[in-house]
């Protein structure tokens, strides 16, 4: 399998700030790859390094085997969908989409034909004569996508492209983007701070924190086997337990993670051999529709969240009340030991 993009020890320093710190990634050809992290974690800078809007302070970036460091954006076979769409306001939709072909010297009839074709791909045929200002947010997003795809890039970069859309439209576009990526077979590199978005669309996700990569894995593995406390807490919600309590429950000094939905309230029966128990005080209950969240203050002061599916169609009286002492129980196998440090130092 060939590599679409390869980072080797890439750093990008802005003054004192290390926006990207010795990052190495291999992104496979044809992969839907997401870069996930909080704002300021370096994911967008990585994308801009691939596009060529930034140059690395150190390290090597290869795009389809070719060294890209020092190349200007217009010399790279990648295209970008911008967060603010960056549509040219003085051109109509068709001219916006045809722009990449125009500057490459493709003749008028061919470039308009290909632009129309690409607009049809994003279900916007017939909108060519409109100005960007006359479109809705979702339509502008599609135009930006078509404009980036018209050059038939081998790698498409998407910088939080769904951030400005409302929830329904965002979920619809997530499905369409995934479908489009399969249909075209090109590499998508998708930057987002929304972990649900990253999990639902990607083949693999890189989790960024403070300019470094904490973990690169499939969505399922990220959720089920987070490598670090940061990943466990950033991807989904998680209880990360440390110290004496962790040692008592696992027999190891390492902190561990337990997902709220993997915990249940202890019933009258004694705990099975593969199970552990903790006691605490229930202090808050949040009704969330599909599930109910219980917040429990443990004896050592740490907080434990429990999530129980509301899978009974009949509304019964709530079983628990705030202020009540409770015992929580979970399977030993559901606990995931975490490394506190970022793995792969000096890999």
Residues that bind other proteins (CB under 8 A): 51-53, 72-74, 78-80, 82-84, 86-90, 99-100, 102-104, 147-148, 151
Give the nearest distance from C-beta 163 to other proteins in angstroms. Answer: 14
Give the nearest distance from C-beta 15 to other proteins in angstroms. Answer: 14
Q: How far apart are the first and last CA of the chain?
A: 22
Per-residue CA distances from 324 to 215, 260, 270, 345 (Å): 39, 19, 20, 45
Give the nearest distance from C-beta 275 to other proteins in angstroms. Answer: 52
Nearer to other proteins, 10 or 146 (CB): 146
CA pair distance 217, 229, nearest whole angstrom: 15
Cα dihedral 308, 314, 320, 321, rounded to 10, equals 120
Nearer to other proteins, 13 or 86 (CB): 86
Give the nearest distance from C-beta 103 to other proteins in angstroms. Answer: 4
Nearer to other proteins, 111 or 204 (CB): 111
Nearer to other proteins, 74 or 313 (CB): 74
Residue of 194, 215, 191, 219 lying closest to 204 (CA atoms) = 219
Radius of gyration, CA atoms only, the chain = 24
Give the nearest distance from C-beta 20 to other proteins in angstroms. Answer: 18
Strand partners, 67: 62
Give the SS3 label for residue 115: helix
Give the nearest distance from C-beta 67 to other proteins in angstroms. Answer: 19
What DSSP assignment string belongs to 68-103?
-TT--GGGSSEEEE-TT----TTS-HHHHHHHHHHT
State which H helix or E strand residue 106 sits in: none
Nearer to other proteins, 132 or 219 (CB): 132
Nearer to other proteins, 113 or 326 (CB): 113
């Amino acid at each position: 399998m060939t590599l679409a993009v390869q980072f080797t020890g890439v750093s990008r320093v802005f003054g004192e700030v290390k926006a990207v710190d010795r990052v190495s990634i291999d992104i496979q050809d044809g992969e839907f790859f997401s870069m996930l992290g909080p704002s300021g974690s370096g994911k967008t800078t990585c994308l801009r390094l691939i596009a060529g809007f930034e140059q690395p302070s150190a390290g090597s970036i290869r795009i389809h085997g070719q060294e890209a460091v020092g190349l200007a954006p217009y010399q790279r076979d990648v295209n970008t969908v911008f967060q603010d769409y960056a549509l040219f306001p003085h051109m109509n939709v068709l001219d916006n989409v045809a722009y990449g072909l125009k500057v490459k010297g493709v003749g008028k009839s061919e470039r308009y034909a290909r632009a129309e074709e690409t607009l049809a791909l994003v279900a916007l045929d017939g909108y060519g004569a409109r100005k960007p200002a006359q479109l809705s947010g979702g339509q502008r997003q599609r135009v930006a996508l078509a404009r980036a795809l018209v050059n038939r890039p081998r790698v498409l970069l998407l910088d939080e492209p769904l951030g400005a859309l409302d929830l329904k439209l965002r979920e619809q576009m997530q499905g369409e983007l995934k479908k489009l990526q399969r249909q075209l077979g090109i590499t998508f590199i998708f930057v987002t701070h929304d972990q649900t978005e990253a999990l639902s669309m990607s083949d693999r996700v890189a989790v960024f924190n403070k300019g470094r990569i904490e973990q690169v894995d499939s969505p399922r593995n990220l959720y089920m086997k987070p490598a670090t406390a940061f990943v466990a807490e950033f991807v989904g919600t998680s209880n990360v337990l440390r110290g004496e309590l962790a040692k008592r429950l696992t027999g190891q000094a390492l902190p561990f993670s337990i997902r709220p939905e993997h915990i249940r309230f202890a019933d009258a029966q004694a705990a099975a051999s593969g199970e552990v128990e903790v006691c605490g005080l229930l202090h808050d209950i949040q009704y969330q529709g599909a599930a109910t969240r219980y917040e429990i203050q443990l004896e050592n002061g740490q907080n434990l969240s429990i999530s129980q599916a509301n899978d009974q169609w009949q509304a019964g009286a709530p079983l628990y009340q705030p202020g009540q002492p409770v015992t929580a129980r979970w399977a030993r196998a559901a606990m995931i030991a975490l490394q506190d440090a970022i793995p792969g130092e000096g890999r």
